[in-house]
Amino acid sequence: MSDNNTESVDVVVVGAGVTGLYAVHKMRQLGYRVRGFERGADVGGVWYWNRYPGARCDVESADYSYSFDEELQLEWDWSEKYATQPEIMRYLSHVADRFDLRRSFTFNSSVVSAELDEETLRWTVRTDDGEGGGEVLSARFCVFGVGCLSSTHLPAIPGLESFAGATYHTGEWPHEGVDFTGLRVGVIGTGSSGIQSVPLIADQAAQLTVFQRSANYSIPAGNKPLDEAARRELKATYAERRRLARLSGGGSPFMTHPRRTLDVDEQERREAYEKRWELGGVLYSKTFPDQLTDLTANHAARAFWEEKVRARIDDPAVADLLVPTDHPIGTKRIVTDSDYYETYNREHVRLVSLRENAIERIDGHDVVLADGERVELDALVLATGFDAMTGSLDRIDIRGRGGQLLKDAWSAGPRTYLGLGTDGFPNLFNLAGVGSPSVLANVILCAEQHVDWLTDCLAHLDAHGYVAIEAAEQAVEDWVRECRERAAATLMMSADSWYLGANIPGKPRVFMPFVGGFGAYGEIIAAVAASGYKGFDLIAR
């Protein structure tokens, strides 16, 4: 319930990443009173925190950018095909400045709870500034743009907290940077942040030991500077580029080969793989339309990948450790790297397979392995990823009808309708997250897709005198089942990936994103809106 110290607003937006920034912009256009809250000191979201060496987007810069404003598209000049973290931060800061978005945000402030008042269907939102202060707000709508990869995960290694050297997590990297010159450095984890940071850490470290639990598939970024001629061509073709991106599976203007893998001869197949290899990175997983649904087709793509990668590694025994054998290619997100595999050809770099020789404990400066070996280190880098998709929401006390905690409602796996609403939680929206393409697509276009849908929806509520919108229980059940069945029809369920929460002990093994593709999903939510929001209960005043 509200009191005299409670500020009344129309919308609370949580997070100042790509989704939160656009949500504030669009909500203000509706004439709403909007307050945004961000636990970091500035805009940027995941890019504010992930400043590790080599941090780089795996979607091309031209596509990893907002499309909602033509002038914004044309005025910004990207320097590289794949932008680094500092350049992405400069871009997001430019967007915030251009549209005066910072004035709607309170920084260094975390939303700690959101509780529904069932009489008014308004949300009481409480914040914490970390210094004993905070605010209480009453909001008609709660919009969460907290990101899928923003809740860091620490491994349960005995003695980790007492490591005698310096410890860093790639997801919470010091803003002033880290100098590893002359140090003995250990990196635990070979997901995206480990694979991207290892080559640059190796450039400085006297000795580098990489501790690998699971090998991952990675493909060279094929990165290159963009000169003025390349930028002019990009800008001249932006309209078509965006049109194709919105039709695609991943929110980028690249379509899969029109025929199935084994319907073409070996030469055509290799040419298609080679073309995707030259594009770089994650797009390789979508070379052929059946690559993630047919194991034989997947084997063909994997064989080409292995041939390419083994040619980059001098020691066949090291190559054996770096080539995954436990999951089909593309069922975990393919990493985009720069000289990762070549790094293991350097004399001062060593790879330790934790499958063969696990970490038993950390003792002082030593990482103690199961066979008794002690690896003495000055610095330890934890590239151990995130409690993905739901972790950032789980740490907020969100209570809907009957005081039910959202975390409890999702205890067997997240339950949403379209990834946009949950029964029992009216007027609460978690954007570009579970139940939508989110991490399987270009997140900036995903954010625009969700925010545009939501602002149209809220305008519809106002125009027709509705006070609230809530997903119907049956619609939620049907969408959860559809997402599950779509995932089961692919090879995605065969990998212990963070898509399923498999990296977090005790987390239910549920495939959390919508696997049907960005374009197909856009058609689904557009049809729901055109039907008058079928599957949602619209609640009158």
Q: pLDDT tens-digit profile of 226-249?
A: 999 999 999 999 999 999 999 999
Instruction: Catalogue all structural domains in the chain, each as residue range(s) with its CATH number.
Output: 7-151+388-540 (3.50.50.60), 192-217+257-290+293-382 (no CATH)
pLDDT tens digits, 440-484:
999 999 999 999 999 999 999 999 999 999 999 999 999 999 999
Q: Are 473 and 409 in contact (CB under 8 A)?
A: no
Across 495-512, average pLDDT: 94
Q: How many CB atoms lie within 10 A of CB 32?
A: 18
Q: Dihedral (C-alpha) 63, 503, 405, 11: value to the nearest 10 degrees?
A: -20
How confident is the model at residue 2, as a pLDDT?
41
Residue 4 pLDDT exceeds 80: no
Percent of the chain at pLDDT > 70 equals 99
Using alpha carbons only, give the angle 280, 285, 286 rounded to the nearest 5 degrees.
Answer: 100
> Quick check: 179 and 204 in contact, CB under 8 A?
yes
pLDDT at 518 over 90: yes
pLDDT, residue 282, reads 86
Distance between CA 411 and CA 405 in Å, rounded? 10
How much is the average pLDDT of 517-537? Answer: 98
pLDDT of residue 163: 98
- Asked if 430 and 419 count as a contact pair (C-beta separation under 8 A), the reply is yes
The 3-state secondary structure of 24-70, one letter per residue: HHHHHHCCCCEEEEECCCCCCCHHHHCCCCCCECCCCCCCCCCCCCH
Amino acid at 375: V
Whole-number pLDDT of residue 520: 97
Q: Indicate the pLDDT class of residue 5, thresholds 50, 70 and 90.
A: confident
User: Residue 1's pLDDT is what?
Assistant: 37
What order do you get walking across the sheet with 379-382 strand by strand? Answer: 166-169, 379-382, 184-188, 207-212, 349-353
* Chain mean pLDDT for the chain: 96
Query: Quick one: average pLDDT of 416-432?
Result: 98
What pLDDT was estimated at residue 232?
95
Average pLDDT over residues 3-8: 81
pLDDT in tens, 362-406: 999 999 999 999 999 999 999 999 999 999 999 999 999 999 999
Which pLDDT value is given to residue 3?
52
Residue 194: per-residue pLDDT: 98
Report residue 222's pLDDT band, with 50, 70 and 90 as the boundaries.
Answer: confident
Cα–Cα distance measured from residue 204 to residue 174, given in angstroms and rounded to the nearest whole number: 17
Site of tokens 């950390």: 362
Under the banding of pLDDT at 50, 70 and 90, the label for residue 541 is confident
Q: How many residues does the chain have?
A: 541
Cα 44 to chain centroid, rounded: 13
> Burial, 182: exposed, middle or buried (Cβ in 10 Å; 0-12, 13-18, 19+)?
exposed
Residue 250 and residue 437: Cα distance in Å, rounded?
Answer: 8
Q: Does position 279 have pLDDT exceeding 70, yes or no?
A: yes
pLDDT, residue 470, reads 98
Q: What is the pLDDT of residues 169-190, one digit of tens each?
A: 999 999 999 999 999 999 999 9
